[in-house]
Structure formats: C-alpha cells, structure tokens
Amino acid sequence: MSSAVKSFCSRWTSLLLVLTLSLVLASCSLRQTEPDTIRIGVTVYDEQDTFIASLIQSLQQDAQQAEVRYGIKINVSVADGKGNQTTQMEQVDRFIKQGCDVLCVNIVDRTAAAVLIDKAKEAEIPLLFFNREPVEEDLRRWDEVVYVGAKAEQSGVLQGRMLVEAWQDDTERWDKNGDGVLQYVLLEGEPGHQDALLRTEYAAKSMTAEGLSAQKLAGDTANWNRGQAASKMRLWLDQYGDAIEAVISNNDDMALGAIDAFLEKEMEVPLVVGVDATKQALDAIEQGTLYGTVHNDADGIAKALLDLCLTYSGILEDSQAPHLEKGHYLWFSYQEVTAKNIDEWRQSLN
Ligand code: GAL
Ligand code: CA
C-alpha cells in the first residue's frame, strides 16, 4: 500500500472510532435524561384525616428525595376513598389499568381486603396495606402482600401507663371528688377499626393492671373526628359536669375536640390523653391542655412504604429491603409523649 492510501485508511479508522464513541456516549446520556419511572398508586380511606394526611405528605417528600438519590422518576398518585369501599375498589382498578408498579392501600373497610388482594395478585402488582389492618388469613392469600403499621395494643398500654403516672404524681389535682377512683369518659375511633378496639381495651386493662381503680362514666365513637368529639363531650358535660376526671381518647383529634368543649364552657380541663402526636397535639401539650399522647409513627410508616416500593421495583437490593415479620408484616413502635419528655422527644426527631 502506498503511504498516501495508508494514511487515508488510518484517518477513516479514527473517524469511525470517534463516530462510534460519540454514538455510545449519546445513547448513555439519553438514558440519563430519561430515567426509569416508578408508578405508585396510593388510595386512602379519607384524605381529611389528620394523621393520614401527614403520612401521605411524608411519603411524597420521601419520594422526591429518592428521585434525586437514585436518579429515577417516582410518580405517586393519591386517590381519596372518601369512606366508600366501592369508590376505593374503582380507584384500585384504575391504578391497575394504568400499569402502576406498586399499590399502597389504606383500606376503607378492612373486611374487603381479600377481593383487593385477588385483584393485585391477578395483575401481579405488589400490594402494601397500611394503617388499617386486614386479618392475617387475608394477607396469606399472596406472597407480595404486606401490612405496614403499628401495634394497636401497645398504644393502649402506654395510654394506661401515662394515666397511672399522672394520677400517682398528683392525685389531689385529678381526683376531684376525692374518692380515690378515676372517673373517666372514653372517646372511641371508628367502630371496627383495630386501633379503636384495641386502644379502648388495653388502656383500661393497663390502668387496672397497674393498680389504679377507675370507673367509666360513658363511652362512644366520634370516628377519629375533632368536631364529632366536641359535640359528644358537650352532651357528657351537660350530663356529668364536674364528675369527669379524665378523657381517654383513641386519637389526638378527638382529644382536642374534648378539650374544645371544656374550654367553650370555661371549665377546667381534666386529665386528657390521646394518640398520634400530631402537630396540634404537641402544641396542646406545651400549652398544658393535653396531658399526653402516644406517638404513632407516620414518618416511619411512610418511609417503609417507599422502601418497599423501591425494593419491589428493583431499585433497592433485597439486602437493603425492610425485614418482614412472618413474611407479611412491618411493625412500628409507639412512644409516649408528655410535658416531661416533649423537648427531648422533639430533639430526637431532628
Ligand atoms: C389511627 C390514627 C387515627 C386515624 C386512624 C385512621 O392509627 O390514630 O388518628 O388516623 O388511624 O385509620
Ligand atoms: Ca374520683
């Protein structure tokens, strides 16, 4: 080959090399600008519920952070079941049709879980229940079904202990009629909800187990709702007045509703305890109207849901996946918060 031909060939080879290289680079950068998208379909029993709203807000924030961390797009669609199981079923059908990768369901009616699990199984879409717990038999219908939540009885036990502690610290203050017995009313959450049933049962059991004699004057549901609790409390105040020495509430919103009723009537607020540790409840503890609450870990539950979504979508490796008890459960602990530990507790969150 003449030297002119040789140099022509080698120039061609380098040109080809450069071309191939730039093509490879272009396709890589293309992939970077078009990240994988994970689609998460979430439906809640009621978007207006304070605790659920904060859990969803936390989930959305976690998803945004994960987009940056893993260089992916995470599409979280949230539907509101508005307390209607039929509506929620339709929302799940829609998520399945849209090709969601994972379903997160805060089920309206816990007894409807089996139908939902069968739908998810047929579509092969992992299903994560949270906060409203289906029975174990239902969860066992398919491997890719998980329940994320907190153990209800623990919150009841902690409430009972808080009451005993308050009573022992200052019996004179709380025992208004001086009979050595704690007269209380009980505000229950939705009928049939595991948290309402078990908190009610274990708060009373743990008070008596710790040697406090207590007498229930009245108890009724106010469906987790502040307004409904205030109305109920107004009726009880008309009926029992000063005889009410404590209000045990299955959640904070209802505890705050009860306090609203006492304040409206310009009556001294008795010993009131709630569950959740919502922002408003923590403020009320600082103001001295709410004696205490039990922290229900909305942020922890949200983070676990997202980690499970990332695991099922193959973004997190199995070794990084949250550990599931009995193959189906992820549990969170409750923690008590009163004026005694609120500062320390707030700091531990940061
Ligand atoms: C409970 C919570 C309530 C309410 C309910 C909804 O765990 O304490 O405030 O949010 O869940 O299912
Ligand atoms: Ca008394």
Token couple for 257:
């509703």
pLDDT given at position 10: 60
Taking only the tens place, the pLDDT of each residue in 57-90 is 999 999 999 999 999 999 999 999 999 999 999 9
Ligand 1 neighbourhood includes 275 CB (under 6 angstroms): yes
CA of 250 to the centre of ligand 1 (A): 8
Res. 14: pLDDT tops 90: no
Measured in degrees and rounded to the nearest 5, phi and psi for residue 288 equal: 85, 10
Q: Give yes or no for residue 249 CB within 6 A of ligand 1.
A: no
Long-range CB contacts for residues 28-34, cutoff 8 Å, separation at least 24:
32/71
Any idea which ligand is nearest the CA of 53? 1
Ligand number nearest to the C-alpha of 294: 1
163-179 residue pLDDT tens: 999 999 999 999 999 99
- Which atom from ligand 1 is nearest to the alpha carbon of 275? 8
DSSP bridge partners of 184: 216, 246
Task: Write out the two tokens for 180.
Answer: 């050595």
Rounded mean pLDDT, 208-237: 97
DSSP state letter for 242: G
pLDDT of residue 29: 40
pLDDT band at 349 (very low <50, low <70, confident <90, very high): confident
- For ligand 1, say whether the CB of 195 is within 6 Å of any of its atoms: yes
pTM value? 0.89
- C-beta 251 within 6 A of ligand 1: yes
pLDDT at 30: 39
Average pLDDT score over the chain: 92
Pocket test for ligand 1, best of 45, 49, 57 (most atoms within 8 A of CB): 49
Greater confidence (347 vs 193) lies with 193
When pLDDT is averaged across residues 281-294 and rounded to a whole number, the result is 98
Region 195-211: mean pLDDT is: 97
The per-residue pLDDT for 160 is 98
pLDDT (0 to 100) of residue 32? 40
Beta bridge partners of 145: 127
Ramachandran region of residue 141, left (φ > 0), alpha (ψ -120 to 50) or beta? alpha
Determine what percent of the chain is predicted with pLDDT higher than 90. Answer: 87
